Amino acid sequence: MADADAEGHVPPDDLASIALDEAHAAGDADLARALAHVTRCRACRAALGELRRVVAAGRAASPDDDVMVPPPGLWQAVAGALHERRSRARRSGCIRPGPGTGSG
């Protein structure tokens, strides 16, 4: 597991790799350690579950799917929700501030 935080949580890029290809992750020593951690850590397990749902939704998409125009203000609402979620995750110790964020 590369660069776990001080609490030993799995880095987001490792969680994304696992969500995208768990079979490959099981054969990679670092990712296998990350998977073992996920089985013991509720926060990392929840984060992985969210990423798995995103991967499943992306894989279920079809070129024939209708594209909807988002309502006004959607992207600002998404950005605000992501900012709040990231702040909560940092406070809980699930993720740490990245380089260039001014808080790390």
Q: What value does the mean pLDDT take over residues 32-39?
A: 90
Give the pLDDT of residue 27.
Answer: 84
Give the pLDDT of residue 6.
Answer: 52
Spatial CA neighbour of 22 closest among 30, 13, 31: 31
DSSP secondary structure string, 2-66? Answer: TT--TT-PPPHHHHHHHHH-HHHHHHSHHHHHHHHHHHH-HHHHHHHHHHHHHHHHHHH--TTSP
* pLDDT, averaged across the chain: 83
Q: In this model, does residue 98 exceed pLDDT 60?
A: no
Place of tokens 């590369």: 2
